[in-house]
């Protein structure tokens, strides 16, 4: 199989925004990441596992080119010191453990500095996806169904049957293939949405953003809150969001600011998202739970702080399709800025089910870390005792912290 990842730019934009802040503030942090396939009945054959190894070895041979670094250097919030670091950076195959163990026949773990392991996640997932779909199915048949479905979606957007507001393509980690995602970004850019309420903004894939001249989109992921908030042994994990938001503001000020709300539940997040942070961050991202209920909660929170919700953006990114996006957009239109990050639906919608695979941080600095989320099934942690501890910390805080302390000034 030809190389799947051919450029170190081929990762989600938030890996660079988090990576710069990690480089400047947490360069000594060490993390472990674990792969998980949530699909029932999916099996990776030994041949697939061997191909995945080969592809990751090739990925680890890549380096940033000067042209790629010049592109990154033109992004407003990226600093020259981080560009100099990337000029020297390379993935380390020694950080990977890949075997055919586990319930799905594939086990992947990465261990090392957070600076390194954070960068491996997206490339690994893209490789696993493409290897699986090329080896388990008639790929050309799948690709044909993908093209037909993509064209049908774009036609409905152009006709106004679907309304997606400002939307971006977020499909890299679960795409059918590099070819499929490239086609999707090109087709969405070329589409004519007229003067309607749909506007294609860009893609999370920085390589494709550069190639097609669209905006690279993305700010932070759950790993940021998990590691910054829970990786320091001295921190109370129920205050994870405060530590994460504070470190982000130190790095970026008012730039690059869309906060992720659901790592340890949105209700706990709102304890820390008080006037200063709510003013500095341009918006918030939804990734679990009922999107309408979440959006109403965020609007009420902004209003309680005296902030006009129409000056803020609600970015929805949880398992979206155009029907869901249209319903959300119409519900909130005129009350708040609405944006969407649409992933699998644009990058891997075929006649067969997409894989639901993730790689998540499972330890930081030798400590367990966890994502709880707003719904069951999206969390991940290897130690049930730590989940119990974290939930007790959150429960105590929600009952006893009235918000009148120095962390909220």
Which strands sit side by side in the sheet containing 313-316, from one edge to the other? 215-216, 198-203, 165-169, 337-342, 313-316, 283-286, 258-260
In a domain, 61, yes or no: yes
**Structure-model confidence comparison of residues 48 and 219, the more confident one:** 48
Instruction: Give the pLDDT band of residue 375 (cuts 50, 70, 90).
Output: confident
* The pLDDT of residue 379: 67
CATH code for position 302: 3.20.140.10
**Structure-model confidence comparison of residues 233 and 176, the more confident one:** 176
Instruction: Reduce the DSSP state of residue 293 to 3 states and report it.
Output: helix
Q: Is the pLDDT of residue 376 over 80?
A: no
Do 150 and 169 share a domain, yes or no? yes
Contact between 96 and 57 under an 8 Å Cβ cutoff? The reply is no
Do 221 and 96 share a domain, yes or no? no
Do 93 and 201 share a domain, yes or no? no
Do 101 and 243 share a domain, yes or no? no
Do 170 and 303 share a domain, yes or no? yes
Question: CA torsion angle for 116, 117, 118, 119 (degrees, to 10)?
Answer: 60
Do 121 and 191 share a domain, yes or no? no
* The pLDDT of residue 409: 38
Q: How far apart are the first and last CA of the chain?
A: 56
Distance, in Å, from the CA atom of 340 to the CA atom of 342, rounded to the nearest integer, reads 6
Do 133 and 161 share a domain, yes or no? no
Neighbours of 343 (CB within 10 A): 23
Distance, in Å, from the CA atom of 222 to the CA atom of 240, rounded to the nearest integer, reads 11
In a domain, 378, yes or no: no
In a domain, 379, yes or no: no
* The pLDDT of residue 407: 46
Do 120 and 108 share a domain, yes or no? yes
Q: Is the pLDDT of residue 378 over 70?
A: no
Q: What is the mean pLDDT of residues 234-263?
A: 96
Instruction: Give the pLDDT band of residue 102 (cuts 50, 70, 90).
Output: confident
Q: What is the mean pLDDT of residues 137-151?
A: 98
Range of the domain at 151: 139-352+390-408
In a domain, 249, yes or no: yes
Q: Is the pLDDT of residue 55 over 60?
A: yes
Do 299 and 403 share a domain, yes or no? yes
Do 321 and 367 share a domain, yes or no? no
In a domain, 73, yes or no: yes
Q: Is the pLDDT of residue 45 over 50?
A: yes
* The pLDDT of residue 172: 97
Instruction: Give the pLDDT band of residue 233 (cuts 50, 70, 90).
Output: confident
Strands (E) in 161-275, as ranges, are: 165-169, 198-203, 215-216, 258-260
Instruction: Give the pLDDT band of residue 405 (cuts 50, 70, 90).
Output: very low
In 3D, which of 231, 206, 230, 236 has the Cα closest to residue 218?
206
Residue-wise pLDDT tens digits, 297-347: 999 999 999 999 999 999 999 999 999 999 999 999 999 999 999 999 999
In a domain, 3, yes or no: no
Q: Which class for 308: exposed (0-12), middle (13-18), buried (19 or more C-beta within 10 A)?
A: exposed
Neighbouring C-alpha atoms within 13 Å toward the C-beta of 244: 32
Q: What is the mean pLDDT of residues 48-76?
A: 98
Q: Is the pLDDT of residue 406 over 50?
A: no
Distance, in Å, from the CA atom of 224 to the CA atom of 50, rounded to the nearest integer, reads 31
Q: What is the mean pLDDT of the chain?
A: 95
Q: Is the pLDDT of residue 69 over 60?
A: yes
Distance, in Å, from the CA atom of 10 to the CA atom of 325, rounded to the nearest integer, reads 26
Do 243 and 339 share a domain, yes or no? yes
Number of domains making up the chain: 2
In a domain, 158, yes or no: yes
In a domain, 381, yes or no: no
Do 222 and 325 share a domain, yes or no? yes
Distance, in Å, from the CA atom of 216 to the CA atom of 122, rounded to the nearest integer, reads 15
């Amino acid at each position: 199989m030809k190389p799947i990842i051919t450029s170190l730019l081929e990762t989600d934009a938030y890996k660079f925004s988090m990576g710069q802040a990690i480089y400047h503030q947490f360069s000594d942090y060490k993390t472990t990441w674990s792969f998980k396939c949530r699909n029932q009945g999916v099996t990776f054959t030994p041949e697939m596992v061997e191909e995945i190894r080969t592809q990751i070895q090739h990925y680890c041979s890549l380096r940033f080119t000067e042209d790629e670094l010049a592109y990154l250097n033109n992004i407003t919030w990226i600093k020259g010191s981080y560009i100099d670091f990337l000029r020297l950076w390379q993935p380390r195959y020694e950080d990977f453990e890949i075997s055919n163990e586990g319930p799905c026949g594939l086990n992947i773990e990465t261990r090392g500095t957070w600076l390194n392991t954070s960068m491996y996640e997206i490339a690994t997932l893209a490789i696993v996806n493409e290897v699986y779909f090329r080896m388990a199915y008639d790929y050309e048949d799948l690709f044909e169904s993908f093209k037909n479905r993509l064209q049908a979606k774009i036609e409905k957007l152009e006709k106004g049957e679907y309304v997606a507001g400002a939307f971006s393509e977020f499909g890299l980690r679960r795409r059918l293939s590099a070819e499929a995602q490239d086609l999707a970004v090109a087709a969405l850019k070329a589409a004519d949405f007229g003067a309607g309420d749909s506007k294609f903004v860009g893609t999370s894939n920085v390589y494709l953003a550069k190639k097609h001249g669209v905006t690279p989109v993305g700010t932070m992921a759950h790993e940021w809150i998990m590691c910054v908030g829970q990786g320091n042994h001295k921190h109370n994990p129920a205050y994870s969001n405060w530590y994460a938001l504070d470190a982000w503001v130190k790095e970026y000020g008012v730039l690059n600011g869309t906060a992720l709300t659901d790592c340890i539940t949105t209700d706990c997040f709102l304890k820390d998202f008080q006037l200063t942070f709510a003013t500095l961050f341009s918006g918030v991202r939804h990734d679990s739970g009922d999107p309408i209920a979440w959006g109403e909660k965020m609007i009420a929170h902004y209003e309680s702080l005296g902030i006009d919700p129409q000056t803020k953006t609600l970015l929805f990114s949880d398992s979206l399709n155009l029907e869901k996006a249209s319903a959300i957009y119409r519900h909130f239109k005129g009350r708040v800025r609405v944006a969407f990050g649409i992933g699998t639906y644009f990058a891997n919608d075929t006649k067969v089910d997409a894989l639901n695979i993730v790689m998540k941080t499972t330890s930081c600095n030798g400590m367990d870390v966890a994502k709880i989320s707003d719904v069951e099934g999206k969390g991940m942690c290897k130690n049930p005792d730590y989940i119990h501890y974290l939930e007790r910390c959150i429960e105590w805080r929600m009952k006893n912290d009235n918000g009148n302390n120095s962390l909220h000034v």
